[in-house]
Amino acid sequence: MTENWDKTVDIVVVGSGAGGLLTALVAAKNHASVLIVEKDKLWGGTSATSGGGIWIPGSDQAKAAGFDDNLDDAFAYVRGLSADNVPDANIRAFVDTAAAMLRWVTANTRIVYTAQPYPDYHAENPGGSPTGFRTHLPELFDGRLLGDDLKTQRMPSPAASLFGYLNWTFAETYQLLYRSKGWLTGLARNMAAYWFDWPFRFSSRKDRRLTLGNALTGGLRLALNEVGVPLWLESPMQELVHDANGRVTGIVVTKDGKTLRIAARKGVVLAAGGFDKNRMMRAENAPLYPHPHLSGGVSSNTGDSIRAGQAIGAATMNLQSAWAAPVFHVPGEDRGRLVTIERALPGCIMVNQSGERYLNEAASYHIVGQQMARRALDHGDASPSWMVFDAAYRAAFPMGPLLPLVPDGLQSRGVKAILKKGRTVEELAAAIGADPARLAATIARFNIGAAVGEDPDFHRGEAAYDKMYGDYRHQPNPCLRPLTQAPFYAMPIYPGDIGTNGGLVTNARAQVLDAQGQAIAGLYAVGNNAASSMGESYPGAGVTIGPAMTFGYIAARDLTGAND
């Protein structure tokens, strides 16, 4: 193809989530000229809306916390869960490099991560960690350091912020959840800091006290600004450019209404997410998860870069897969709200449309999402299912967007539209279209076991992961309490996801492969652009962003010769 370029750099990164931002930063620190292009008007991708957690075996932070991890155990754990078509080499590359990546981030940015006592999702499996310390969370980050760039950072997910605008840490989440000592003072202090952040408050809804995924992406963006890496917004990639030998030499991008050809002397890294919001790609590839509006992914994740790779001969793998999750969908919102803690708290159950339980509500969101999706496909009675809870739960805990201490009539319009209520279980059954006798029998059976802390049907509250999200104040089982206090409530819950995770086939160096298994020179993919090394599994909190950043680190070092 003709070599008529509008701009030339060493490396082009497509996408501005954590994987893309770190790829660009590592490459720039290794003396490469880098350009980041982002199709949306906001930067940060799904990473910015997330909890910002990363799953990292054998980290320095874990050792400092007293957990001396074994990488062979971590490999065995992931290998046992991941799909058979994921090569050992890819899993090994992640496990062996993740800690080095985090060490590099710690040394080269102002991001601070701490290892958490957060159990692996299948901690009872060989190599799993029931004590945790593989999941890491970012600490607070000062958004004022970003200047005007903060205004174009993507907002947190509604499920990861209070009232849709107030950022909070996980520690603050638990303080509010249990309304422990100082909760009201802390909430008032944070709200005052937000509302009296003048004059910034008059020009942006953003909270400059960055937490979770905003803290991670904010810290990476600041580091990129300090080394002068440009990030073009509203600049969608149209196609990959390659030479006569098949080597990727650049991209075609649209910017300010103009079509530009950008040369990449060393290569192109695709880090633009999956096809979360592409209804056609979902229908063709992921029939278990057909509904874009139930995905927690951001609106710009439409699979463009996966299709661009396919157009030049790249192979794909596991396109049927997604990071499954149960979600609430509030009318008027553009995404599903991930449901994590609520399902494990005592005083609630999940039932199908007939009023029967069919799973362990407190299992990992990925497992619950998968079970819901398969049930919906096989039986047609699980989308929606219903989260059923009593007045004691209603008074004590949130149920997704439904806030405790706030009367039903003062909830948001969207919440009021989906909340169902009954003075009796039978009245609630009529409100949700379930069989009254069946729902009453389901609750009666559940209550017998819950009264003594047991769930003989689905073993809720037995696994370490279940207990982590239960109410530690409630014994003998922090996840179980009979539903006895009227009135009774229900909210529809759906099988959704937080993003697709099948994509372009890559090797242990993050190079994209063709149908013959050969690397396409000059082309790399990370994050949900690439088929995940986790396969269709979800080993622990942070196995989305952790591998995205790790393979971004690997790709950047490979492109700049640092791995030689």
Residue 495 preceded by cis peptide, ω within 30: no
Which residues lie closer than 8 Å to 548 by C-beta, 6 or more apart? 17, 18, 19, 47, 271, 526, 527, 528
β-pairing, 7-14 with 258-270? parallel
Which residues lie closer than 8 Å to 192 by C-beta, 6 or more apart? none
Structure tokens at 514: 């063709």
Residue 394 sits at φ, ψ, to 5 deg, of -55, -40
Buried b (16+ CB within 10 A) or exposed e, 197-233: beeeeeeeebbbbbbbbbbbbbbbbbbbeeeebebbb
Q: Give, for 11, the enclosing helix (H) or strand (E).
A: strand 7-14
Nearest alpha carbon to residue 220 among 135, 110, 352, 137? 110
CA 494 to chain centre: 17
Domain ranges in the chain? Answer: 325-497
Cα separation, 96 vs 107, whole angstroms: 19
- pLDDT by position in tens, the chain (length 564): 447 999 999 999 999 999 999 999 999 999 999 999 999 999 999 999 999 999 999 999 999 999 999 999 999 999 999 999 999 999 999 999 999 999 999 999 999 999 999 999 999 999 999 999 999 999 999 999 999 999 999 999 888 888 888 998 988 888 988 999 999 999 999 999 999 999 999 999 999 999 999 999 999 999 999 999 999 999 999 999 999 999 999 999 999 999 999 999 999 999 999 999 999 999 999 999 999 999 999 999 999 999 999 999 999 999 999 999 999 999 989 899 999 999 999 999 999 999 999 999 999 999 999 999 999 999 999 999 999 999 999 999 999 999 999 999 999 999 999 999 999 999 999 999 999 999 999 999 999 999 999 999 999 999 999 999 999 999 999 999 999 999 999 999 999 999 999 999 999 999 999 999 999 999 999 999 999 999 999 999 999 999 999 999 999 999 999 876
β-pairing, 258-270 with 519-525? parallel
Cα separation, 563 vs 548, whole angstroms: 18
What is the CATH number that goes with domain 325-497?
3.90.700.10
Nearest alpha carbon to residue 276 among 333, 210, 321, 342? 321
Q: Find out whether 16 and 45 touch, Cβ atoms under 8 Å.
A: yes
